[in-house]
């Protein structure tokens, strides 16, 4: 049988493994940052209605530019952030990963580099590699904040064409303040005075944050991009709908590399139905924020070190001995609870679940911590 390394794949892909988290059949799965609440029945019925309407014209290609959907997404952003947006400033694709891929296809590529601040969302580096874009890892402080002074120096020295900022950051949950983004944006433009550099703020978890969106920073910053998703706050991970907000010229740029008719009529119909039920879905977000804060309190009470979180997940540890984090991961799994081992030394990440799921997780953690103390 032919092995992967026997194939004429690109050299930078050799030895790599696909992105993904374990999909195990256990009672409590809290490892992929999904929204644990099923869509309400009235929304399911509305999705069926809209998809049924779309099905009547599936012999035709969908709206190539998804203009109706982009208009509704712009309206949603305007309402929740207070920053006026129009459809020409919004672009949608199959999950925020495709949005990021299109941005790197347009602004990255061979001979160009992207900079991110690790640990962070690992798909930033993987998509960079997949598009032939060089990858640079920028500095963070011991508490997982971006080291602004060191980051500005790195940008000046390495002159990346694309800079990624994740806020709230995955897997740490830490948010990034507006002053930090302003400093990184200014440094990136100064390093590339001829045409500037693209700065992408990944706000996949923004609806769960204590603080405001960074969307208002778009004003006067033509190469700043805000990326978002419907997978988390909208409880629609299976939908695969991501979107960006940016200067209309950036939207024009990603259309140069998008595949023809990339967003199906069924996807567009489902997303439009979900947007009709925004208030209901964001009500679930309020519950999850309360549960997330409870997880932080109870994990600390159990003797864990916990990173302050603005997302729908919590990073906890600190299991400093070699292999300690993975040993705790295995001990929790033995008790029927699946969390995420991201490979950050000493740390694990748990998604906020339903109250019952969180109770089961916390009971398992307390038992494991008691064993460790003994």
Q: Give the architecture-level CATH label for domain 21-40+279-373.
A: Alpha-Beta Complex (3.90)
Task: Copy the structure tokens of residue 235.
Answer: 């409880």
What is the pTM for the complete model shown?
A: 0.94
Helices (H), 256-354: 265-276, 278-301, 324-334
pLDDT of amino acid 207 = 97
Q: What's the chain's length in residues? A: 374
In 3-state terms, the chain is what percent helix, strand and coil (to 5)?
45, 15, 40
Closest-CA residue to 188 (of 222, 212, 213): 222
What's the whole-number mean pLDDT along residues 315-320? 94
Right CATH number for 41-275 from 3.40.50.920, 3.40.640.10, 1.10.3720.10, 2.40.50.140?
Answer: 3.40.640.10
CB 172 within 8 A of CB 135: no
Beta-bridge mates of residue 366: none
Domain range annotation of the chain: 21-40+279-373, 41-275
Kind plus residue range of the DSSP H or E element containing 260: none
What's the whole-number mean pLDDT along residues 289-315? 97
pLDDT of amino acid 1 = 73
pLDDT of amino acid 14 = 84
pLDDT of amino acid 16 = 82
Provide the 10 A C-beta neighbour count for residue 75: 16
CB 160 within 8 A of CB 113: yes
Provide the 10 A C-beta neighbour count for residue 16: 12
CB 372 within 8 A of CB 55: no
What's the whole-number mean pLDDT along residues 115-127? 96
Closest-CA residue to 116 (of 83, 74, 146): 146
pLDDT of amino acid 107 = 98
What's the whole-number mean pLDDT along residues 71-85? 97
Q: What is the dihedral of CA 44, 70, 208, 214, to 10 degrees?
A: 180
The dihedral through the CA atoms of 300, 305, 307, 313 has a sign that is negative
- The C-alpha R_g of the chain, in whole angstroms, comes to 21
Give yes or no for a cis peptide into 239 (omega within 30° of 0). no
Instruction: Kindly tell me if the per-residue pLDDT of 179 is higher than 90.
Output: yes
What's the whole-number mean pLDDT along residues 248-265? 97
């Amino acid at each position: 049988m032919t092995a992967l390394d026997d194939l004429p794949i690109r050299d930078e892909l050799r030895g790599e493994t696909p992105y993904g988290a374990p999909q195990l059949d256990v009672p409590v799965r809290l490892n992929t940052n999904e929204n644990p609440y099923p869509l309400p029945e009235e929304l399911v019925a509305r999705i069926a209605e809209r998809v049924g309407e779309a099905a009547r014209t599936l012999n035709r290609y969908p709206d190539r530019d998804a203009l109706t959907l982009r208009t509704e997404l712009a309206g949603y952003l305007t309402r929740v952030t207070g920053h006026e947006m129009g459809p020409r400033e919004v672009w949608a694709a199959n999950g925020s990963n495709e949005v990021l891929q299109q941005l790197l296809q347009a602004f990255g590529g061979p001979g160009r580099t992207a900079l991110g601040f690790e640990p962070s969302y690992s798909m930033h580096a993987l998509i960079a590699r997949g598009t032939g874009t060089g990858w640079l890892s920028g500095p963070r402080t011991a508490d997982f904040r971006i080291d602004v002074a060191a980051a500005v120096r790195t940008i000046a020295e390495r002159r990346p064409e694309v800079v990624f900022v994740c806020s709230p950051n995955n897997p740490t949950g830490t948010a990034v303040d507006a002053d930090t983004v302003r400093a990184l944006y200014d440094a990136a433009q100064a390093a590339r005075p001829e045409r500037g550099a693209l700065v992408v703020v990944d706000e996949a978890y923004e609806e769960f944050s204590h603080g405001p969106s960074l969307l208002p920073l778009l004003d006067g910053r033509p190469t700043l991009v805000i990326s978002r998703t419907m997978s988390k706050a909208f409880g629609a991970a299976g939908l695969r709908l991501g979107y960006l907000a940016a200067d209309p010229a950036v939207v024009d740029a990603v259309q140069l590399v998008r595949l023809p008719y990339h967003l199906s009529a069924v996807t567009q119909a489902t997303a439009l139905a979900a947007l009709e039920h925004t208030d209901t879905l964001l009500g679930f977000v309020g519950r999850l924020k309360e549960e997330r804060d409870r997880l932080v309190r109870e994990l600390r009470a159990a003797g864990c070190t916990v990173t302050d979180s603005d997302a729908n997940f919590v990073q906890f540890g600190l299991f400093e001995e070699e292999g300690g984090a993975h040993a705790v991961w295995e001990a929790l799994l033995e008790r029927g609870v699946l969390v995420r081992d991201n490979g950050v030394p000493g740390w694990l990440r748990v998604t906020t679940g339903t109250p019952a799921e969180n109770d089961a997780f916390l009971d398992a953690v307390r038992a494991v911590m008691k064993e460790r103390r003994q």
